[in-house]
Amino acid sequence: MALPDYIDNDRHKLESVLKDLILNDSQTKLDIATGFFRIEAWIRLEEAFNSLTNLRLLIGRDPAILPAERSSIDLKRYFRRDVQEQLEGEPFNITYKRQIDRLIAYLQQHHIQVRLFGVLSEKTPFLHAKAYIFNDYSIIGSSNLTPSGLDGNTELNVLIKQTAIARDLRVNWFAKFWDDKSVDTDYKAKLIDALNASKFGSKPYTPYQVFVKALYELFKDDTGLEGSDRTSLQLATFQQEGFERAVRLLETHRACMVADAVGLGKTFIGLRLLDHYLIKDRRPGYVPRAVIICPAQLRNLVWVKKLDEFGIKADVISQEEISRQGFDIKRFSKHDLVLVDESHNFRNSATNRYRNLQKLIVSGKRNKRVVLLTATPINNSLYDLY
């Protein structure tokens, strides 16, 4: 097909243009700069990417992480968890398992390189540019290497059909960021480790993990709540005990911290608390309100999805949003309940997010209830709890 002059994911899809350039135009080298990378994008481009003789993928950092907050966020861990959440959100099936196996094998090839930009220096500015640089062509615009960037979002990218410009971009622009001192040059190995450690990977399970899984499969039908309950949000017995303990603390102190380990269902306990108090505190002429504050990557993936699933109405904002200098506290000052997911991210009292959360809690409506969720309440010292 004739190559377009621009790509908007309406008349011309980025996915189709990339495939056409690689498979039909013999473009064998590709340098990519992208703010986000999603595994599903590689799966959709697998056939084309297998034809490349050289691929350099440079992943930027989330622009929602403000410079003032970088000192309180481990960016390498942030992106590693982002990959893990992409995988854990997928139901297990043999087709996806085989795709992940092929992705791991693909990444292990010497001519495939992946780096993460800006994680080794807090002073490095965001790499927010999106570029796909081939031998003879360049695509510059707004599309990340994600399913939405490939064809879902309304985007605008320019296809430059000049070899000299492609060469200049590769040598003078891309290389500058690729070799920047802030780049994590070992990120490919970390990405492979994250893929292998997922339920789709080949990392062997310990005997203990196999034993626990066997117990779960044997007794999973017996772990639900007994008796009737008006809510459709049913908890396992140990989660119900945590919920009841949290209610006692909220009734006594109007605040609690749910600090169960990873995988024990803190999100479901939080949802049950929201459901409980949004019903309990309702009275004629008054409907209580709640706000959830969570990392940006969990907003739609977890909280909005689960609230809709269980019919719970609450506002959801990201920790990055509350970090902003001009965050409007009045929007949420009259809410009855504030739930903070991954609340350990607020342990640094010198950050905007800490100060804004404190103002939100003490301003407006008196006697708010506050629920903190975290698997790591103490990271460095007991002062983290303060």
pLDDT for 179-200, tens place per residue? 888 888 888 888 888 888 877 8
25 within domain boundaries? yes
Question: Is 37 found in the same domain as 168?
Answer: yes
pLDDT for 75-134, tens place per residue? 455 555 556 666 666 677 788 888 888 999 999 999 999 998 876 556 666 778 899 999
pLDDT band at 224 (very low <50, low <70, confident <90, very high): very low
pLDDT for 345-367, tens place per residue? 888 888 888 999 999 888 888 88
Question: Is 192 found in the same domain as 85?
Answer: yes
What is the number of domains present in the chain? Answer: 2
pLDDT for 120-179, tens place per residue? 556 666 778 899 999 999 999 999 998 999 998 899 999 999 999 999 999 999 999 998
pLDDT for 34-58, tens place per residue? 988 888 899 999 999 999 999 999 9
Question: Is 285 found in the same domain as 337?
Answer: yes
Residue 107, domain CATH: 3.30.870.10
274 within domain boundaries? yes
Question: Is 166 found in the same domain as 22?
Answer: yes
Domain that includes residue 29, residue range: 6-197
**Whole-number mean pLDDT of the chain?**
83
pTM: 0.53
Please state the rounded mean pLDDT for residues 68-79.
Answer: 46
pLDDT band at 379 (very low <50, low <70, confident <90, very high): confident
Tell which of 168, 197, 226 closes a domain. Answer: 197
Question: Is 156 found in the same domain as 31?
Answer: yes
179 within domain boundaries? yes
pLDDT of residue 304: 92
pLDDT of residue 145: 92
pLDDT band at 204 (very low <50, low <70, confident <90, very high): confident
In SS3 terms, the chain reads as CCCCCEECCCCCCHHHHHHHHHHHCCCCEEEEEECCECHHHHHHHHHHHCCCCEEEEEECCCCCCCHHHHHHCCHHHHHHHHHHHHHHCCCCCHHHHHHHHHHHHHHCCCCEEEEECCCCCCCCCCCCCEEEECCCCEEEECCCECHHHHHHCCCCEEEECCHHHHHHHHHHHHHHHHCCCCCECCHHHHHHHHHHHCCCCCCCCCHHHHHHHHHHHHHHHHCCCCCCCCCCCCCCHHHHHHHHHHHHHHHHHCEEEECCCCCCCHHHHHHHHHHHHHHHCCECCECCCEEEEECHHHHHHHHHHHHHHHCCCCEEEEHHHHCCCCCCHHHCCCCCEEEECCHHHHCCCCCHHHHHHHHHHHCCCCCCEEEEECCCCCCCCHHHHC
279 within domain boundaries? yes
Question: Is 300 found in the same domain as 244?
Answer: yes
Tell which of 175, 197, 219 closes a domain. Answer: 197
Question: Is 244 found in the same domain as 182?
Answer: no
